[in-house]
Structure 1
Amino acid sequence: MKYTRIGRYSKYIRPISILIDLLIIITLTHLLFHEASFNTGRYAGFLLLSWSIVAFIVDFYQVYRFTTQIEIFSKITKQLTVFALLAVAYFPFSGEDGFNKWLIIKFFVLCTLSVALAKFVLFYLLREYRLITGSNYRSTIIIGYSDEALQLKKLFETKVDYGYHFLGFFSDKKENEEIIGKYEDVQDYVLKKNVDEVYCSLSDLSNTKIKNLVDFMYENNRNLKFIPDTKDIFSKNLKMDYYELFPVLSLSKSALNEPEIQFTKRFFDVLFALLVIVFVLSWLVPIIGLLIKLESKGPIFFIQGRPGINQEEFLCYKFRSMVLNQSTEHETIKDDPRITKLGQFMRKTSIDEMPQFFNVLLGDMSIVGPRPQLWVHNNAYRDKIKKYFVRHSVKPGITGLAQISGYRGEINNERDMENRVKYDVFYIENWSFYLDLKIIFQTIIDIFKGDEKAF
Structure 2
Amino acid sequence: MPETQAERVLAAAGTTAAASSAAPPPAPALPGPAVFSHSRLLRSCEAFVEPLATVLALWAIVWVIEGSITPSWLVVSVLAFALAYPGRPQLRASPARVVSDTVLAWAWTCGLLLAMGYATGHLDDFSRDVVLHWLWFAPVAQLLAHWGLRQAAPHIVRLQGPPLRAVVVGMNEQGGSLADRLAMAHYTGVELLGFFDDRTPDRIHGRRHRMLGRIHEIADYVKRNRVHLVYLSLPMASQPRIKQLLDALKDTTASVYFVPDMFVTDLIQGRTDSVCGLPVISVCETPFRGPNAVLKRVSDVVLSVAILLLLSPLLVAIAAAVKLSSPGPVIFRQRRYGVWGQEIIVYKFRSMTVTEDGPVVTQARKDDARVTRLGAFLRRTSMDELPQFVNVLQGRMSIVGPRPHAVAHNEFYRPLIKSYMIRHKVKPGITGWAQVNGYRGETDSLEKMEARIRCDLDYLRNWSLRLDLYIIWRTIRLVFKDGAAY
Which TM bucket (shorter chain)?
0.3 to 0.5
TM-score by length of 2: 0.44
Q: Which fold has the larger relative contact order, with Cα–Cα distance below 8 Å and residues 6 or more apart in sequence?
A: 2
Query: TM-score w.r.t. structure 1 length?
Result: 0.47
Larger helix proportion, structure 1 or 2? 1
